[in-house]
């Protein structure tokens, strides 16, 4: 990660250089410390606001260059709208906005975490800092040439002035764990597939051991022994071997059933013999965004020492066409014993999930399971890139996810599961086929397929993140391609309901 932020907290005092970032409400009202630091520049702000029609509306900004009367080279005023209505995700976004307004070459900035009625609370200032950190992420490790004016400074010193420095530092600690998890997930998604193939992905997941996470890697031999033929069939056309990684974080009571997260990790999806068209195929290096989220989440939980037992399982394969590749018409026997007729080798994610979900349930008897997968183009047709599709056999889990989504801004929209869709995936030759045959309801038939590998006694939710895992809308807290979507959502779910 370039553009390294050196982020620190301090008391309110007028900055001597760099960019000065302050907040006002929709009445253009500043807090007392901000007013003191601005001094007579406040007048200038009022006049500039008038001419720029800046009214302090939420997330709007006003820039003043070299404001006479300030030592700062630039003053950025950010509107918060109605200060009393701000929620945690708003503060995260404001932090992202603040970093976004810094000139490319800026090395120093001071952000006053103050609202009109006074200093932001410690949690609010910490959220602001988290947003700043997420926004500063850039994936540029492969850029070797830059014009001088495009070169970002090696380090940016950001000071956030707060009311209670010690309390804010404390509140910021778990948020660092979470944003590190998001950044880790983004790195995985952005990395190209010649670098990040299943074995390398598994090796990098092994770094979680440093946080006292148990990491086991199942190789092809181990998977054969377990009978994971649905997963292995997907990977058999690749020169790269498949892997499953099991990550275990035990922060809860000894012996208590864990919560389980399962990720689709197709390191590259060519479609296999049912090969995809060339246009945008490069995006399929991101077909492991589900697995990336699971690793990022386990990182977040372990790094903030979450008081929960959690397991993360990821199925890592590369879907390639070659002489040994799986064919349409092939029939494979999954670990569950159910047989699958392969109709389309491009419907590979569900084959990977079928075995990993089955294995997770058998081995861990989890309290609930959530799987994440960039599973279908159909979910993008249905929901675009704002909401992920959610399918669940359990209303309580679905409601909790919806709530966590609204709190974090990682939104999920519940989609139907119903036996009526089941007949679309019945097969003439095997227990089921891997596509519904028609494009209609493609995200639903995919979910309905996965459901056949879920024990209905276990609450389960499937999140189709094809639209949100990468290339989602550029937001105020992410300018890179990989989004790290789901880490904050699932961390919230755990924190709200499953920590002792």
The distance of closest approach from Cβ of residue 276 to Zn ion in the complex, given in angstroms and rounded to an integer, is: 9
The distance of closest approach from Cβ of residue 116 to Zn ion in the complex, given in angstroms and rounded to an integer, is: 49
Instruction: Name the residue nearer to Zn ion (CB basis): 25 or 287.
Output: 287
- State which H helix or E strand residue 111 sits in: strand 108-112
For helices 165-190 and 487-497, angle between their N-to-C axes, nearest 10 degrees: 130
Instruction: Name the residue nearer to Zn ion (CB basis): 108 or 287.
Output: 287
Q: Give Cα separations from 491 to 254, 259, 482, 498 (angstroms).
A: 21, 12, 18, 10
The distance of closest approach from Cβ of residue 349 to Zn ion in the complex, given in angstroms and rounded to an integer, is: 4
Q: Which does 378 bind (CB under 5 to 8 A by kind): ligand BES, Mn ion, Zn ion, none?
A: ligand BES
Question: Which parts of this chain interact with ligand BES (CB under 6 A)?
Answer: 269, 287, 344, 346-349, 374-378, 435, 442, 466
The distance of closest approach from Cβ of residue 447 to ligand BES in the complex, given in angstroms and rounded to an integer, is: 12
Q: Which does 193 bind (CB under 5 to 8 A by kind): Mn ion, ligand BES, Zn ion, none?
A: none
Instruction: Name the residue nearer to Zn ion (CB basis): 230 or 266.
Output: 266
Q: Which does 208 bind (CB under 5 to 8 A by kind): Mn ion, ligand BES, Zn ion, none?
A: none
DSSP 478: B
Q: What gap in Å lies between CA 91 and CA 74, rounded to an integer?
A: 22
Name the active-site residue from 101, 121, 186, 350. Answer: 350
Instruction: Name the residue nearer to ligand BES (CB basis): 375 or 450.
Output: 375
Q: Are 477 and 96 in contact (CB under 8 A)?
A: yes
Side-by-side strand order, sheet with 339-341: 331-333, 339-341, 432-433
Name the active-site residue from 35, 169, 276, 333. Answer: 276
Q: What gap in Å lies between CA 14 and CA 172, rounded to an integer?
A: 23
Q: Where would I find the beta strands (DSSP E) of 301-408? A: 309-319, 331-333, 339-341, 369-373, 387-392
- Asked whether position 346 contacts Mn ion by CB under 5 A, the answer is yes
- The residue behind tokens 């956030």 is 160
Q: Are 303 and 211 in contact (CB under 8 A)?
A: yes
Q: Give Cα separations from 332 to 55, 224, 489 (angstroms).
A: 63, 12, 35
Instruction: Name the residue nearer to ligand BES (CB basis): 374 or 408.
Output: 374
The distance of closest approach from Cβ of residue 462 to Zn ion in the complex, given in angstroms and rounded to an integer, is: 14
Helix (H, G, I), strand (E, B) or coil at 375: coil
The distance of closest approach from Cβ of residue 120 to Mn ion in the complex, given in angstroms and rounded to an integer, is: 45
Q: Which does 136 bind (CB under 5 to 8 A by kind): ligand BES, Mn ion, Zn ion, none?
A: none
* Token pair of 26 as six digits: 């929709």
Question: Which parts of this chain interact with Zn ion (CB under 5 A)?
Answer: 266, 269, 287, 349
The distance of closest approach from Cβ of residue 481 to Mn ion in the complex, given in angstroms and rounded to an integer, is: 19
Does residue 276 carry a catalytic annotation?
A: yes
The distance of closest approach from Cβ of residue 239 to Mn ion in the complex, given in angstroms and rounded to an integer, is: 18
Name the burial class of residue 57, with classes exposed (0-12), middle (13-18) and buried (19+) by CB atoms within 10 angstroms of its CB.
middle
Q: Could you say which residues in the range 251-290 bind Mn ion, by CB under 5 A? A: 269
Helix (H, G, I), strand (E, B) or coil at 280: coil
Instruction: Give every CB contact of residue 321 below 8 A, 6+ residues apart in sequence.
Output: 237, 270, 271, 272, 273, 275, 345
Instruction: Name the residue nearer to ligand BES (CB basis): 276 or 414.
Output: 276
Q: Which does 344 bind (CB under 5 to 8 A by kind): Mn ion, ligand BES, Zn ion, none?
A: ligand BES
Q: Where would I find the beta strands (DSSP E) of 162-258? A: 214-218, 243-250
Q: Which does 377 bind (CB under 5 to 8 A by kind): Mn ion, Zn ion, ligand BES, none?
A: ligand BES
Q: Which does 114 bind (CB under 5 to 8 A by kind): ligand BES, Zn ion, Mn ion, none?
A: none
Which residues, listed in sequence order, are joined to residue 319 by a DSSP beta bridge? 269
Does residue 350 carry a catalytic annotation?
A: yes
Q: What gap in Å lies between CA 197 and CA 211, rounded to an integer?
A: 23
Q: Give Cα separations from 83 to 46, 159, 270, 390, 408 (angstroms).
A: 19, 22, 49, 32, 18
Q: Which does 22 bind (CB under 5 to 8 A by kind): Zn ion, Mn ion, ligand BES, none?
A: none
Query: Which position's Cβ is nearest Zn ion?
Result: 269
Instruction: Name the residue nearer to Zn ion (CB basis): 374 or 408.
Output: 374
Which residues, listed in sequence order, are joined to residue 218 by a DSSP beta bridge? 244
CA angle 429, 435, 440 (to 5 degrees): 130
Q: Give the catalytic positions in this structure.
A: 276, 350
Residues forming contacts to Mn ion in the complex (CB under 5 A) are 269, 346, 348
């Amino acid at each position: 990660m370039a553009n390294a932020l050196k982020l620190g907290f301090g008391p309110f005092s007028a900055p001597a250089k760099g960019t000065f970032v302050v907040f006002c409400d929709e009445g253009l009202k500043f807090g007392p410390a901000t007013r003191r630091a601005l001094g007579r520049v406040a007048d200038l702000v009022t006049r500039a606001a008038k001419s720029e029609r800046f009214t302090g509306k939420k997330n709007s900004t006003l820039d003043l260059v070299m404001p006479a009367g300030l030592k700062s080279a630039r003053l950025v005023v950010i509107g918060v709208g109605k200060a009393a209505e701000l929620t945690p995700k708003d503060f995260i976004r404001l932090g992202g906005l603040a970093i976004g307004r810094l000139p490319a070459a800026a090395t120093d900035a001071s952000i006053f975490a103050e609202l009109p009625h006074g200093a932001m609370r410690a949690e609010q200032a910490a959220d602001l800092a988290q947003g700043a950190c997420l926004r500063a992420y850039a994936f540029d490790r492969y850029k070797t040439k830059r014009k001088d004016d495009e070169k970002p400074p090696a380090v940016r010193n950001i000071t956030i002035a707060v009311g209670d420095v010690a309390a804010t530092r404390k509140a910021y600690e778990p948020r660092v764990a979470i944003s590190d998890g998001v950044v880790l997930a983004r790195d995985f998604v952005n990395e190209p597939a010649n670098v990040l193939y299943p074995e390398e992905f598994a090796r990098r997941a092994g770094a979680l051991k440093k946080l006292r996470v148990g990491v086991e890697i199942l190789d092809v031999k181990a998977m054969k022994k377990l009978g994971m033929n649905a997963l292995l069939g997907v990977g058999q056309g690749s020169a790269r071997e498949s892997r499953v990684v099991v990550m275990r974080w035990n922060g809860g009571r000894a012996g208590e059933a864990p919560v389980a997260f399962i990720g689709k990790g197709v390191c590259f999806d060519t479609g296999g013999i049912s090969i995809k068209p060339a246009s945008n195929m490069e995006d399929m290096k991101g077909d492991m965004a589900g697995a990336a989220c699971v690793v990022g989440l386990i990182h977040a939980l372990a790094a903030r020492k979450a008081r929960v037992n959690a397991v993360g399982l990821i199925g890592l394969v590369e879907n390639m066409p070659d002489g040994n590749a799986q064919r349409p018409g092939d029939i494979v026997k999954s670990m569950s014993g159910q047989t699958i007729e392969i109709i389309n080798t491009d419907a590979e994610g569900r084959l990977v999930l079928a075995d990993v979900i089955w294995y997770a349930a058998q081995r861990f008897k989890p309290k609930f399971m959530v799987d994440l997968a960039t599973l279908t183009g159909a979910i993008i047709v249905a929901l675009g890139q704002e909401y992920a599709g959610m399918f669940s056999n359990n209303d309580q889990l679905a409601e909790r996810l919806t709530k966590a989504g609204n709190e974090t801004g990682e939104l999920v929209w519940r989609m139907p599961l119903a036996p009526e869709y089941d007949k679309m995936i019945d097969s003439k030759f095997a227990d089921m086929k891997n596509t519904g045959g028609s494009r209609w309801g493609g995200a639903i038939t995919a979910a309905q397929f996965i459901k056949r590998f879920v024990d209905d006694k276990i609450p389960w939710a499937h999140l189709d993140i094809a639209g949100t895992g990468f290339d989602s809308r550029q937001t105020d807290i992410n300018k890179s391609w990989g989004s790290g979507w789901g880490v904050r959502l699932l961390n919230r779910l755990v924190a709200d309901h499953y920590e002792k």
